[in-house]
Structure 1
């Protein structure tokens, strides 16, 4: 049996946390379920992360880190599509991962819930990561209006995918999905 390093175990806990939090949200997911999924004890889990909040934020950060990385990769590839098309196709690739999509949505809900309860610090790291995505799109697209349109379409796509609307449903009609699918190929 090969023994994992502490860093490898930490990574496996973050991946398990994403899976569990994606389905149950922050309040509906127990650290016991995460520990069980990884095959560690809760006390070991709390040696890696001091509390559930720290673990959730690590999982949320991981999801949010993947977006700017995917967008940057899409922009680096020389192609005949616009930066907006390249980034949109990259984003569609990310949200094809249902756990990634649901974790992203659960992150927004957790921050909103914390804010409503008076905990304004909880969302600081999430807002910073989201602002990085905004800034990256803004630089690539060159304007606030184009950036807002891009982010707005991205959020609409998240909602439509999360709700399970098939791509041929009328609610997708304002989005050029055929164009995005062609760019992704």
Structure 2
């Protein structure tokens, strides 16, 4: 039994599956991502993966929800607790999140998978809640929230193309990223 993996608890297994699924789904999307590949990467059986997440859609949604929680913890809560310059605080946090390219990609994959009504409703709800939380920050009006959200979406697309890494060697990428800062 030399090749057998040690048993782990369900919470640890869930975390491992979510991490592997983020890698798979962020690059290949809901329909292109493979639960077989995720199980293989983790060296677990396909049925064991489905014991934790009964469907591929449920796994994809769980990955999105983890991404939403990361954005909330690292960006929204920082802006909401900032005593002054909350939008700048959130912009700096979003800039740091852009360094997590797979996070940016999974958010885009969520929007891309919105032909599925369950995922569309999830993305709609998250987008609405995020926008309304930005809008509710003291001294931030609807126009400011809109501009902030729009710029964030643009930079999310830039991060998905890996423009921050290219900016050092690509003058247009540097100008593009600097134009909204």
TM-score of the two chains, using structure 1 as the length reference: 0.82
Number of equivalent positions: 169
Q: Where does residue 174 of structure 1 map in the other structure?
A: 179
C-alpha contact 1:61 1:126 (8 A) present in aligned 2: no
SS state at 1:50 partner: coil
Gaps of 5+ in 1: 177-185
Q: Indicate which of 77, 100, 118 corresponds to 1:121.
A: 118
- Aligned partner of 2:69 among 51, 65, 69: 65
User: Would the aligned equivalents of 1:20 and 1:34 in 2 still touch at CA under 8 Å?
Assistant: yes
Please report the RMSD computed on the Cα atoms of aligned residues, expressed in angstroms: 2.0
Q: 1:75 aligns with which of 60, 63, 79?
A: 79
- Structure 1: distance between partners of 2:71 and 2:103: 10
Q: Greater relative contact order: 1 or 2 (C-alpha under 8 angstroms, separation 6 or more)?
A: 1
Is 1:137 aligned to 2:134, yes or no? Answer: yes
Does structure 1 residue 103 correspond to structure 2 residue 106? yes
2:41 alignment partner, one of 37, 40, 56: 37
The Cα shift of 1:157 comes to: 0.7
Q: Distance in 1 between matches of 2:23 and 2:148?
A: 27
- Distance 1:54-1:154 versus aligned 2 partners, 3 A rule: same
Consecutive unaligned residues of structure 2, counting only runs of 5 or more, are none
1:154, CA displacement in angstroms? Answer: 0.3
**Within 1, Cα distance between the matches of 2:52 and 2:124?**
24
